[in-house]
């Protein structure tokens, strides 16, 4: 298995532009998570899906952020309009096990810089 | 909100030394996981502990889950430069709303 695949690896955009981050989870994994990592705040859960359905989006910072999972093999995280404070590394992770024994498999992340 | 505090935040040691890093919370977790993250990559799962008092060993790494399931420790024996990385603990809340809460990590540097 190729693991969790994220694209792009790096994204530099100007303030106000729309940014779309993409994720392909591991086949058979029924949970998908989007995290944001910064030096100040560490890893923060933004939203997660179970069987393509959003379960908890309480971590999404504001209405500028949206996430979709149209099918079991693809998810997007969109920021519109982007702001410099959105600069961070965004990780997607997937998991197949409900409950306490499942470990996440993370992608390599997308480093977003908003200038 | 469940919080996980990791200490120390930074640790720099020489090859061959032993070390322990800690993960503490005021909340009870159904499981506790440890990850290692290298620069430019995502975290990689090292171990999951689920029972209070549980001890797991992974080669030179020893993980322990506190009796009350509120804290955990990671001990590395005879550290090597390849152990360098960011060590993250993550607590699982369990139940139908399963998700992990991560600590901010301990950045370990092992110098040759």
Closest alpha carbon within chain B to A105: B44
Helix (H) or strand (E) holding B34: strand B31-37
- A105 touches B: beta carbon within 8 Å: yes
pLDDT of residue B94: 61
Mean pLDDT of B88-103: 78
Both tokens assigned to B79: 């550290």
The two most distant CA atoms of chain A are separated, in Å, by 41
Q: What is the pLDDT of residues A65-95, one digit of tens each?
A: 999 999 999 999 999 999 999 999 999 999 8
Q: Which residues of A touch B97 (CB under 8 A)?
A: 55-56
pLDDT of residue A100: 45
Q: Which of B31, B18, B8 is nearest to B86 (CA)?
A: B8
Q: What is the pLDDT of residues B21-34, one digit of tens each?
A: 999 999 888 888 99
Dihedral sign for Cα atoms in the order A76, A77, A80, A83? negative
Q: What is the pLDDT of residues B79-94, one digit of tens each?
A: 999 999 999 999 887 6
Q: Which residues of A touch B43 (CB under 8 A)?
A: 43, 91, 104, 106
Restricting to A residues 74-93, those with a Cβ less than 8 Å away from any Cβ of B are 91, 93
Strand pairing partners for B90? Answer: B33, B102
Predicted confidence pLDDT, tens digits, chain A (115 residues) = 679 999 999 999 999 999 999 999 999 888 999 999 999 999 999 999 999 999 989 999 889 999 999 999 999 999 999 999 999 999 999 987 655 456 789 999 999 999 9
């Amino acid at each position: 298995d190729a693991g969790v695949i994220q694209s792009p690896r790096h994204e530099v955009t100007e303030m106000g532009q729309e940014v779309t981050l993409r994720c392909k989870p591991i086949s058979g994994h029924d949970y998908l998570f989007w995290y944001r990592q910064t030096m100040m705040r560490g890893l923060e859960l933004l939203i997660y899906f179970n069987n393509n359905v959003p379960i908890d989006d309480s971590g999404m910072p504001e209405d500028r952020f949206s996430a979709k999972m149209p099918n079991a093999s693809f998810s997007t995280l969109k920021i519109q309009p982007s702001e410099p404070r959105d600069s961070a590394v965004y990780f997607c992770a997937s998991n197949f096990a409900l409950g306490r024994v499942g470990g996440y498999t993370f992608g390599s992340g997308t480093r977003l810089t908003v200038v | 909100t469940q919080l996980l505090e990791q200490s120390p935040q930074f640790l720099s040691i020489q090859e061959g030394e032993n070390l322990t890093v800690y993960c503490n919370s005021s909340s009870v977790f159904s499981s506790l996981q440890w990850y290692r993250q290298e620069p430019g990559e995502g975290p990689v799962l090292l171990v999951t502990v689920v029972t209070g008092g549980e001890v797991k060993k992974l080669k030179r790494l020893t993980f322990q889950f506190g009796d009350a399931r509120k804290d955990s420790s990671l001990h590395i024996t005879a550290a090597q430069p390849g152990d360098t990385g960011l060590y993250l603990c993550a607590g699982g809340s369990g139940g139908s709303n399963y998700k992990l809460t991560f600590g901010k990590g301990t950045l370990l540097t092992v110098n040759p």
